[in-house]
Structure 1
Amino acid sequence: MNLNMASNSQGKNSWPELVGMNSDVAEKKIKSENPSVTSVNIVPEGSFVTMEIRSDRARVWVNENGIVTRVPIIG
């Protein structure tokens, strides 16, 4: 992760505690802990995503049951 991008953020940059949780819970927690995040993308495992880095977005990778499978990070 680009450290300069992380330093521009106004809250947490990663949420390891969300792995294994439901995506709805994860989305709410991310938004409440970092007001700079305006977009939380719920992404099914195996999906293709764009490679640009955005300091206002967090991606939440989930399995077929909507359970978080990777540590959500800003980017």
Structure 2
Amino acid sequence: MKPEIIDRDSGHHMWTAAECAEYAGMARGTFTSYAGRDRAPKPSARLHGLTLWDAEVIKEWKKGRDRTLKSDR
């Protein structure tokens, strides 16, 4: 089973830190460290102790991050 959380207002999927990290190709701890140091988007919501990020925001962040990493080579 793989439950999904979808924001009713925006219709966007909400991801946990683990899902964000998987999408970004990094460890969960690395992603949460980035988020804590403002190197990743701020969480969009907290639900019953679960910190969530808007999947669309994470996708845009990763696109920008990929462009930056590519230009640094």
TM range, normalised to the smaller chain?
A: under 0.3
More helix by share: 2
Q: Which has the higher contact order (CA 8 A, sep 6+)?
A: 1
Pair member with larger Rg: 2
Give the TM-score taking structure 2 as reference length.
0.27
